[in-house]
Amino acid sequence: MAKPLNRDQMAWRAAQDLPDGAYVNLGLGMPVLAASHAPVDRDIFFQSENGILGVGALPEPGQGDRELVDAGSRVVTLRDGASIFDSAASFAMIRGGHLDITILGAFQVAANGDLANWDALMADKGPLIGGAMDLAVGARAVYVIMRHQNKDATPRLVDVCTYPLTAVGVVKRIYTDLAVLDIDARGFVAREIIPGLDRADLAAATGAPLTFAADCRDLTAPKFDDGD
């Protein structure tokens, strides 16, 4: 039986697509896991929207400078060649199209690339928007990591987003627990699918027409024990 990827595996798979020399912003949640799975022979600069270009490894517990934090409010370190700046400069960098890739989480992605990731319409919850809208319009390529379906098996890849949009027509690639998909003029195009999953079942789990790339292949990832 087909085994969906866990969180670390999804993040690992996304990380393999980060090229040498790339400037990359990772959203909170699964995206930020990609940093630790990036191939070690590649020189990648991770940007943090609160003002770091070149986020390094997490310090040992209790170590590090509490005034040096990333967008997830974690104490971090800097890598060689890192720089620090203020939020206005950071979002000038983001909005100005200087980041090669942003990887974001999402509630829904539509077949035209629309992204919904900031407002799940929870009753009685105040809104939380953060930097997602700026990243979604600013980065040269917007990738999404998310589960293919909700827990109730409703699709997250949809014809039209029902949640409020983060940005219009921006998503280029999606890493799910079942597949890697691109978005192009055809809509969702599966490039990789987990071994053992029927194409028809993937299509059924997808809320919009699904095309399979001519060279669609197996989606595999190393084992990670993330307690998922």
Told to check if 200 binds another protein by CB under 8 A, we report no
Distance from chain centroid for Cα 150: 17
Residue indicated by tokens 């990827």: 5
Radius of gyration of the chain (CA): 17
Q: Which of 214, 201, 208, 197 is nearest to 5 (CA)?
A: 197
Q: Which residue has 């100005």 as its token pair?
A: 96
Find the binder of another protein among 9, 11, 46, 49 (CB under 8 A).
49
Q: Which of 29, 59, 82, 212 binds another protein (CB under 8 A)?
A: 82
Do residues 157 and 148 make contact, with C-beta atoms less than 8 angstroms apart?
yes
CA 135 to chain centre: 11
97 binds another protein (CB under 8 A): yes
Show contacts with another protein in window 149-168 (CB under 8 A): 164-168
Choose, by CB under 8 A, the member of 52, 189, 193, 205 that binds another protein. Answer: 52
- Tell whether residue 141 is a contact of another protein (CB under 8 A): no
Q: Which of 29, 59, 95, 155 binds another protein (CB under 8 A)?
A: 95
171 contacts 109 by C-beta, under 8 angstroms: yes
Which residues sit at the interface with another protein, rule CB under 8 A?
20-21, 23, 43, 45, 48-53, 65-70, 72-74, 78, 80-88, 90-99, 119, 124-134, 137-138, 164-168
